[in-house]
Structure 1
Amino acid sequence: MTNVTGRRPVATSAPPYGAPPTHRTPASGRGARSRGGYDRPRRPVRRTRRRWVTALIPWMFLAPALLLFVYFKLMPLLQAIRMSFYDVRPYLGDRYVGFGNYVAVTTQPLFTKAIWQTVVLAVGTTGGSIVLGFLLAILVEGQARHLWLVRTAAFLPVVTTMAVVAEVWRIMYYPGRSGALNTLLGWVGLGPEPFLAGEHQALASVMLVGIWRGAPYDMMIFLAGLASVDRNLYEAAAVDGGERWQRFRHVTLPSLRPVITILCLLAALRGLRSFTEVFLLTNGAPNGATEVIMTLIYKLGAEQGQLGVAAAGSMVLFLAIATVTIAVNTWRRRVTAR
């Protein structure tokens, strides 16, 4: 049968009613054939490279800090762990001694005394700096015009190097009657005190320096915590007839509990690692009254040449600090979960 043009029509097989038409995309070099026979386009190479570059950019910024951390923190730590199991003999070769260095450092005559005095110094410095820092924060809190100057002046001990702070306090602690602190004591009718030269006053004198230097730092943290307390709670407590002490006890302190926990941890770590102030003020004197674990490790390694024993003492201190950190974090999580 022909149409009006005189050409025979091409026979086509139409799909059954309701069936979708089947079309195939011609294969090309850019696509990959799927299971159903369709060509699926490949992922562009540029997009993959862009994702890799985007993922690498943060690591590129972190790379300098990571390299410094590895070189100045991680590698010395690993080296100290290795040295703690060896009798380090420069130019003669190290000799493996196992846990002999740990036995040697724990049997030192001043080791137990140094640990006890380190704990006392850490606890006293922590408690004193937190209490004094909180009192300073209460005094300088507010929006007054000139409070920024007071806060800056109070924060100066933190940004001052410890060597300068220790030298100033050493001059003030001069045991004679002409000393600065003994002159003040003479005005109120008290006799001169030996301070750093006395076995019973030396540790407390070093502790006072740590409190004076750490309190301004705690003050700034407390100021940030006080600024985050909801003022509506104070207004609600005042409407309910709560007095100032009751508002402080039931509103301020519960709101500052996380801040106090963090400050306790940071101050405790500072106290356990106390070295500069003790070394510059007394160097463990008089008669070992201010000897702490850090000065003992320094003397074993730098003065007596027992590098392996000093490394073992460093590992003992590291384990003590790690234990305190884990214990405080665990306790904080349990309190937060409640």
Structure 2
Amino acid sequence: MRRLTGTLTPWLFLVPALVLFALFKFVPMGEGIRLSLYDVRPYLGDEWVGLANYRTVLTDPRFQDAVGHTLLLAAGTTLGSMLIGFALAVLLEGHARSLWFVRSAVFLPVVAATAVIGEIWRLLYYPAPNGFLNSLLSWVGLGPWPFLDSPDTALWSVMAVGIWKGAPYDMVLILAGLAGIDRQLYEAAAIDGATVGQRLRHVTLPALRPVVTILLTLAAIRGLRVFTEVYVLTGGGPAGSTDVWMTRIYSLGFERNELGVASAGSVVLFLVTFLLTVIIRIYRGRREATVR
């Protein structure tokens, strides 16, 4: 009896969290999968259409454009965030007391609300010559640039905001990875005559492989599901040049009332994200097995 009680006790503490997860996550997920198989008609009754919604999603030119924008935005944001995060981590690594303040200041974009960040950057990107960034560019003889108002520059402007927000997060994880590197490896490399660049290449980067794998996994999920900053900055415009997967789903579901097609797009996004995560996990497992 005591053994049974000891086994059930942890689950009793988990029940409230499990109930909340079921009500606000798993039940809506199941309902979304169900709706993806129907032509949702409020007050008229849903009509079974099978996989027709999925065919619509996969063959819709605007959806294909949105997927392309999503992949480009995810790749650029991931690469830029990791490079800048690595540079910040190398610069801010150490045990000096003053570094905690600098690290905290650099980390602020991560804890700030994405909607607030989007509004601030939308003001900074004001396309007129007297806009903040255009005023700075005028000092060096550049601009004015349209930023968010031109199809040629809007996606890159959104990408810059994503990099600015994601780099401090990557910095923290890379700092944790740097703290776990044996300092004797650096000393041995220095004794052998290795330069700073060689030490970074042959000591630091190989030791950070587990951290890089985690960053890629998180970045893939974050990049494919990007929504708030795009919606606040451009709403998918101009002329659909920044329309991404999530904004397209939002537009179909809440503006065009095609809830079945929007649900199908959400299910496809979930499957792609899940598959990508599994691939990265398998690759990481094989790399670790090879090292061992």
1:330 equivalent in alignment to 2:282: yes
1:74-89 matched pairs, under 5 angstroms? 74-89=26-41
Please, what TM-score do these two structures have when normalized by structure 1?
0.84
2:75 corresponds to which residue?
123
1:8-27 matched pairs, under 5 angstroms? none
1:6-155 matched pairs, under 5 angstroms? 49-155=1-107
Kindly name which structure, 1 or 2, has the bigger radius of gyration based on alpha carbons: 1
Question: Secondary structure in 2 aligned to 1:305?
Answer: coil
Deviations 1:133-175 (A, max 9, x none): 1111111110112100001001110000011100000000000
2:217 corresponds to which residue?
265
1:302 corresponds to which residue?
254
What amino acid does structure 2 have at the position aligned with 1:86? Y
1:182-221 matched pairs, under 5 angstroms? 182-221=134-173
Residue identity over aligned pairs, in percent, reads 59
Deviations 1:258-314 (A, max 9, x none): 101110111121110000001111011100000001000001000111100100111
* Mapped partners of 1:176, 1:302: distance in 2: 32
Deviation for aligned residue 1:106: 2.2
Deviation for aligned residue 1:330: 1.2
2:175 corresponds to which residue?
223
What amino acid does structure 1 have at the position aligned with 2:246? M
Question: Secondary structure in 2 aligned to 1:229?
Answer: coil
* Mapped partners of 2:42, 2:180: distance in 1: 56
* Mapped partners of 2:257, 2:95: distance in 1: 56
* Mapped partners of 1:228, 1:289: distance in 2: 43
* Mapped partners of 2:131, 2:162: distance in 1: 20
* Mapped partners of 1:268, 1:183: distance in 2: 35
Give the total of aligned pairs. Answer: 290
Deviation for aligned residue 1:105: 2.0
* Mapped partners of 1:323, 1:237: distance in 2: 40
What amino acid does structure 2 have at the position aligned with 1:154? V
What amino acid does structure 2 have at the position aligned with 1:194? P
1:312 corresponds to which residue?
264
CA RMSD of aligned residues (A): 0.9
* Mapped partners of 1:191, 1:300: distance in 2: 36
* Mapped partners of 2:220, 2:51: distance in 1: 28
* Mapped partners of 1:312, 1:97: distance in 2: 12
2:193 corresponds to which residue?
241
Deviations 1:12-55 (A, max 9, x none): xxxxxxxxxxxxxxxxxxxxxxxxxxxxxxxxxxxxx2111111
* Mapped partners of 1:122, 1:292: distance in 2: 10
What amino acid does structure 1 have at the position aligned with 2:18? L
1:164 equivalent in alignment to 2:116: yes
Deviations 1:183-233 (A, max 9, x none): 111011112000000111000000011110111111100110000001111
Deviation for aligned residue 1:234: 1.0
Please, what TM-score do these two structures have when normalized by structure 2?
0.97
* Mapped partners of 1:93, 1:336: distance in 2: 53
1:6 corresponds to which residue?
none
Question: Secondary structure in 2 aligned to 1:110?
Answer: helix
* Mapped partners of 2:142, 2:160: distance in 1: 19
Deviations 1:84-127 (A, max 9, x none): 00111112211101111112222323011111000000000100
1:5 corresponds to which residue?
none
